[in-house]
A and B are shown apart, each in its own frame.
Chain A
Amino acid sequence: MDKSDTDCINAYLGGNANALEPLVEKYKRPLYSFILKMTEGKEDAEEIFQETWFRALKNIHKFRHDHFLNWLFRIAHNLVIDRVRRNRKNVSLQSAVGSFEEGDRTLEDQLAAPGISPAEEAGGNGLGERIGQAVETLSPDQKEVFLLRMYGDVPFKEIAKIQNCSINTCLARMQYALAKLRSLLKEEYEELQEAMP
């Protein structure tokens, strides 16, 4: 674990009520960005972001992880899954989905809303934004692997634990995600390649 993370957590457990403030500041962006991409809107994202921290605070005395951010990602992952399940119940889609993991398509796959929204299409033309839009077209499992690598620099071994699958499955999801991004952003990549010396 990061030395400063350990120090902050130990100080907090020792009674320093403000000791977690640097960790909240340090990890708020990658964690929130990940949740925002995995949920349907800012309101949901902020709620899950807050709940992730509240759960972390409640269980921080049990923290035996290598990396604090990975632990937060794991909590956030579970909360996102819970949210998807709850939303699914709300719209009475149980009959459409037999089990959580059905063949190659998971519950989240089936609930994914592929395509780029008009609001996103109206966005800028920068490659970053185009990549962001292309990421939205990935299935949730692929998107999660991609985002955990990009935002959190989470190792595949850790992603496998979060997604409760093998490391090979995670690698395949990332390969698929990159292949899809390459096909969607073919023109941009070709322009970049031509520009390269």
Chain B
Amino acid sequence: MKCNHAERLILLQDSGEAAAGKTGALAAHLHDCGDCRQFQHALMQAHGNAAALAEPSAKVVLDILREARLAAPQRKSASRFLWKPAFAATAAAVVVGLVFLVPALLSNPVGMELVVTATQLMEPEDQIVSVMYSGLSEDDLAFNFVMTYEEG
């Protein structure tokens, strides 16, 4: 193994990217090569000493946190989801209502149409009388008749 290749393997091993099969060959090379051992040592020293980390000012960090709060997506509130059960209940009520009402309305559509048509064919005054007196018995009609003429 050449030193250039060994140095690259040392770097890849350090970053956890070296292929597992190469470690034996690298170890053998390092055993024999003082220069590559020094390279590895320099890398370790750099790791140990270069990591003196600086810190940004508190104001900058606070500004970032404030911006993060302002830019945060809207929280998914519970009220957004309340309409779903309400809508479902309303839809169910409408369906139930239709189930009962539609058959009743459509039970004898031809008969209803004939009744309406017969009423519409009458003169307007007769239509009123027809509506007023429909459902009254003959006795009621006779009573009304008598009362009307007595008043007159």
Contact = CB atoms under 8 A, between A and B. Distances in A.
B55 to A, nearest CB: 6
B7 to A, nearest CB: 5
Interface in A27-80: 28-30, 32-33, 36, 45-46, 49-50, 53-54, 57-58, 61
The A interface is mostly helix, strand or loop, or mixed, namely: helix
Contacts, number: 128
Contact of A189 (B38, B71, B72): B38
A59 to B, nearest CB: 11
Given A128-B49, A157-B17, A171-B11, A17 B43 contact: no
A17 B41 contact: no
B50 interface: yes
Contacts of A175: 4, 7-8, 11
Interface string B20-54: 00000000000000000011011101110111111
Contacts of B53: 29-30, 32-33, 151
Interface stretch (B62-70, B94-102, B117-125): B62-70
28 contacts: A14-B76, A15-B72, A15-B76, A17-B75, A19-B72, A20-B65, A20-B68, A24-B68, A29-B53, A29-B54, A32-B54, A46-B57, A49-B60, A53-B68, A54-B64, A127-B45, A131-B50, A146-B46, A151-B51, A171-B11, A175-B8, A178-B7, A178-B43, A182-B42, A185-B42, A189-B45, A192-B45, A193-B38
What are the 4 closest A-B residue pairs judged by CB atoms, nearest first? A15-B75, A17-B72, A128-B49, A29-B53
